[in-house]
Structure 1
Amino acid sequence: MSRQVVRSSKFRHVFGQPAKADQCYEDVRVSQTTWDSGFCAVNPKFVALICEASGGGAFLVLSLGKTGRVDKNAPMVCGHTAPVLDIAWCPHNDNVIASGSEDCTVMVWEIPDGGLTLPLREPVVTLEGHTKRVGIVAWHPTAQNVLLSAGCDNVILVWDVGTGAAVLTLGSDVHPDTIYSVDWSRDGALICTSCRDKRVRIIEPRKGTVVAEKDRPHEGTRPVRAVFVSDGKILTTGFSRMSERQVALWDTKHLEEPLSLQELDTSSGVLLPFFDPDTNIVYLCGKGDSSIRYFEITSEAPYLHYLSMFSSKESQRGMGYMPKRGLEVNKCEIARFYKLHERRCEPIAMTVPRKSDLFQEDLYPPTAGPDAALTAEEWLKGQDAGPLLISLKDGYVPPKSRELRVNRGLDTGRRKAAPEAGGTPSLDAIHRLEEEMKKLQATVQELQKRLESLEETVQAK
């Protein structure tokens, strides 16, 4: 019976197609850090990659269309003083990206349209509160300017980026050990975490309460990943006691036994899960191996249906996942990954084979758009809302870039005083420079007089 369900799926023949050589990003030095994040983040405008950098942490941001060989002197985002561990684009502003680093800070950056022409060293805001390295950053899916970060201090902080303040703290009493993964629910009401203490927790962050938890969803000792999927379920990836990789589906109201548990292979790389709520497909990308497996999740047993696997010769160091609004709907593309090799980033399109050129409504239901459903204040006061949906029927046109508004005087003043290259300085900045010039001239004149008087004294002797 289960085979019949899989066979009748419209996604049964989805296939992966790697981009041609001229559509890849060549000569990028991907980070050698052993941290288990994707090292790559993409949106309809940009692709960002965490790179090797001397003297601190840096990541590269390229306009999506700037494929081919990347100049070795290409400008980077380089404000961190230690390696960058995770990056995430804001879902409500395609020019804003957050980064977490070993220097214990989270920084939020604004990328100009068209990409960087000079190295970017000044973040819009620096979020300081962690005492150890920050390995996870994740934006709230529906509330404006709400960002979550998790550090190796076993603390999760939720920030209001607009004020630069940590508005919620989940301390080490909730997670007694290293946090491996954090995922927001679709409406941002809950978070799901996996921890080194072998527990998966579902948490209401505003109350700081653990709603449900599962001890040892996988018997092995290696890291577990957990993500929310549709209908109040979570999906976990981990290892069996015999070090076989596993994927499991759980009902959050009944965590005693999994709805489905499948063993995959004996590879040692952590499986990074990416879930698409529009198609109910979950993609598992093995870090350090060369495969992308995909499964369809249904509401009836056996719940988790294996569809197929994309394989290539070279292993992946990391993986980025394009939001649905950045895909080519006229080619029946339902997902696109950005696979990191040692010195290359390769797009891989997941496509449903169809002959018709017409818009396929069954493949593209209304999807999450770029507008926030709530303000940070509304969410903090207890409101919840699903994403504001848009149709992809006529293709997605990115809105004009929106400035990230930060209410901190220090950061706003710094940004006014340091206009972008090629921009016009403000009148205040010009007046300040004139005042400084006058002071310098007065100092030089004073020193000149002192020098003359010393010369006279020496001559008199």
Structure 2
Amino acid sequence: MSRFVRPSKYRHTYSQQAKKEHNYENLKVSTSAWDTDLIKANPKFLSINYQASGGGAFLVLPLLSPFSAPAIPTPKLPDLLPLCRGHSGPVLDTAWHPHKEAVLASAGEDGKIFLWNFESEISNSARGSEGTGYSGKFSGWGEENWTTPSDWEHTAFIPKAGQGKKVGQVVFNPVASGLLASASGDHVVRLWDVDSGKFDEALVELKGHKDTVQSVCWNYTGDLLITTSRDKQIRMYDPRAGSDPIKQADGHGGIKGSRVVWLGDRERAVTTGFSRMSDRQMILWDTATLKPISTENIDSSSGVIMPHYVEGNSVLLLAGKGDGNIRYYEYADDELFYLNEHKSADPQRGFTLLPRHAVDVGQNEIARGFKLTTSTVEPIGFVVPRKAESFQADIFPPAPSDEAAFTAKEWMDGKKGPPKLIDMES
């Protein structure tokens, strides 16, 4: 009996975990029970929610490519490190500015958003010309008698970002420079222009949530925003059209953590959450109508699933907290087709993806993830096997660049458009 095989460029995609000597080890990851990814990446740095006394802190580490030759082993992290302090309560989330790679926003239980600038470290985020050690804050890291430099100082902060309540999520707009969305404990999503330095009041306040906002996601063109909430609703907002949602629908039946991710430039989104029977679920949504297209029960595990989408390649990765595996699917013909999974004996506490324009095209790496365990960061490449050594244009379409299409003020004035793109071959 013949069997039809669906054609796919990504059918044989496999995961490539970095060798142990290229992991970041001896971390003290935050023990806060708040549900975020705990780790974020850009082409130069990693930020990790950290466990520290005397208030909240997070750690910033220089980022290396463990898959490119010559790949020099990463030194084991010392017990004392320069940290980013300032919050009086645990840091709950961080977000790298997509158009200024040295700038980061952090949110905490103290109801504040802090802004940080690591411009002085940009030239120090890679190995020296002789491949020995780092300079800047991490000068001498891995060498004998390395001493801990002073902590980082923030450059600005938004004192009333949460109106006295904790700020749980921060997400930058992918198109407008400096436009930051924050979700706080008063069930409001606020927009800020962090490039302007004016933080007396938010640009927009998005209301309607009846309980904790669990995740926030911008669409590909940065003009719409979608949220999930503990009140079991999924909401879509056009922030320039008003503070109320333009669409709203029933989400997952369970109250445990629900997440949402937009599927690139399509009118589709995926939410992950729990059914009323506590099964882990994935729902594919039509965002034009905010109606579900399909619902899939994944398993009966208890960990929140962190969804990440590789736009341009139509690949969805699902990393469950407490799981050792990472499943990945391909979106095609309005369906999500299971491809494979990365397997590991070490459960993850957090997971994030590198921006697509920074992956290693020479290795046919369509995505690079960073898996965070209780004490280690493990880089994982997702590779499409090809025999040809030349640039594979069909799996590397142009990617959103690190150049903004317009400013936050222009966005507020009504300007719309897609992100600027960069040729992956260049």
Q: Same fold (TM over 0.5)?
A: yes
- For Structure 1 versus Structure 2, the TM-score category normalised by the shorter chain is 0.7 to 0.9
Equivalent residue, structure 2, for 1:379: 411
Equivalent residue, structure 1, for 2:117: 110
Q: After TM superposition, give the deviation of residue 4 of structure 1 in Å.
A: 4.3
Equivalent residue, structure 1, for 2:27: 28
Map 1:237-248 → 2, pairs under 5 A: 237-248=272-283
1:157-204 superposed Cα distances (whole Å, 9 cap, x missing partner): 111112332443435x41121000000011110100001111000101
Equivalent residue, structure 2, for 1:153: 186
Equivalent residue, structure 2, for 1:119: 150
Equivalent residue, structure 2, for 1:288: 322
Equivalent residue, structure 2, for 1:429: none
Equivalent residue, structure 1, for 2:47: 48
Map 1:310-329 → 2, pairs under 5 A: 310-329=342-361
Percent identity between the two aligned chains: 40
Q: After TM superposition, give the deviation of residue 210 of structure 1 in Å.
A: 1.3
SS at 1:28 equivalent: coil
How many aligned residue pairs are there?
386
On the 8 A contact 2:176/2:405 being kept in 1, the answer is yes
* CA distance, structure 1, for counterparts of residue 75 and residue 343 of structure 2: 23
Equivalent residue, structure 1, for 2:339: 307
SS at 2:307 equivalent: strand
On the 8 A contact 1:260/1:304 being kept in 2, the answer is no
Q: CA RMSD in A?
A: 1.6
Give TM-score scaled by structure 2 length.
0.87
Q: After TM superposition, give the deviation of residue 148 of structure 1 in Å.
A: 1.1
* CA distance, structure 2, for counterparts of residue 121 and residue 327 of structure 1: 28
Which residue identity does 2:104 align to in structure 1?
I
Is 1:132 the counterpart of 2:165 in the alignment? Answer: yes
SS at 1:378 equivalent: helix
| Runs of 5+ consecutive residues of structure 1 not aligned to the other structure | 395-461
Greater shift in the superposed pair: 222-231 or 44-53: 222-231
Q: After TM superposition, give the deviation of residue 128 of structure 1 in Å.
A: 2.1
1:316-342 superposed Cα distances (whole Å, 9 cap, x missing partner): 011121001221110000111111111
* CA distance, structure 2, for counterparts of residue 311 and residue 284 of structure 1: 12
1:94-117 superposed Cα distances (whole Å, 9 cap, x missing partner): 111110001110011001222662
CA distance 1:365–1:212, shift in 2 (3 Å): same
SS at 2:357 equivalent: helix
SS at 2:403 equivalent: coil
* CA distance, structure 2, for counterparts of residue 37 and residue 175 of structure 1: 19
On the 8 A contact 2:231/2:255 being kept in 1, the answer is no
Is 1:333 the counterpart of 2:340 in the alignment? Answer: no
* CA distance, structure 2, for counterparts of residue 136 and residue 372 of structure 1: 22
SS at 1:306 equivalent: strand
On the 8 A contact 2:50/2:59 being kept in 1, the answer is yes
SS at 2:245 equivalent: strand
Map 1:363-378 → 2, pairs under 5 A: 363-378=395-410
Map 1:205-244 → 2, pairs under 5 A: 205-206=239-240, 207-215=242-250, 217-229=251-263, 230-244=265-279
* CA distance, structure 2, for counterparts of residue 309 and residue 62 of structure 1: 28
Greater shift in the superposed pair: 331-340 or 120-129: 120-129
Which residue identity does 1:145 align to in structure 2?
G
Q: After TM superposition, give the deviation of residue 357 of structure 1 in Å.
A: 1.1
Equivalent residue, structure 1, for 2:142: none
Map 1:77-96 → 2, pairs under 5 A: 77-96=84-103
Q: After TM superposition, give the deviation of residue 254 of structure 1 in Å.
A: 3.1
**Which one has a larger percent helix, Structure 1 or Structure 2?**
1
From 234, 238, 246, the equivalent of 1:200 is 234
Q: After TM superposition, give the deviation of residue 282 of structure 1 in Å.
A: 1.1
Q: After TM superposition, give the deviation of residue 284 of structure 1 in Å.
A: 0.8
1:405-449 superposed Cα distances (whole Å, 9 cap, x missing partner): xxxxxxxxxxxxxxxxxxxxxxxxxxxxxxxxxxxxxxxxxxxxx
Which residue identity does 1:239 align to in structure 2?
F
Which residue identity does 1:58 align to in structure 2?
A
1:230-278 superposed Cα distances (whole Å, 9 cap, x missing partner): 421111111122211111101123334x212111111101111111211
Q: After TM superposition, give the deviation of residue 121 of structure 1 in Å.
A: 4.4
* CA distance, structure 1, for counterparts of residue 51 and residue 336 of structure 2: 38
On the 8 A contact 1:125/1:164 being kept in 2, the answer is no
Give TM-score scaled by structure 1 length.
0.81
CA distance 1:4–1:270, shift in 2 (3 Å): farther
Equivalent residue, structure 2, for 1:259: 293
1:279-304 superposed Cα distances (whole Å, 9 cap, x missing partner): 11111110121121111112x25x21
On the 8 A contact 1:297/1:304 being kept in 2, the answer is yes
On the 8 A contact 1:126/1:164 being kept in 2, the answer is no
On the 8 A contact 1:79/1:120 being kept in 2, the answer is no
Is 1:249 the counterpart of 2:284 in the alignment? Answer: yes
SS at 1:386 equivalent: coil
On the 8 A contact 2:193/2:203 being kept in 1, the answer is no
Equivalent residue, structure 1, for 2:130: none
SS at 2:86 equivalent: strand
* CA distance, structure 2, for counterparts of residue 221 and residue 134 of structure 1: 20
* CA distance, structure 2, for counterparts of residue 309 and residue 347 of structure 1: 15
Q: After TM superposition, give the deviation of residue 51 of structure 1 in Å.
A: 1.1
Map 1:265-284 → 2, pairs under 5 A: 265-284=299-318
On the 8 A contact 1:108/1:123 being kept in 2, the answer is yes
Which residue identity does 2:34 align to in structure 1?
W
On the 8 A contact 2:170/2:182 being kept in 1, the answer is yes
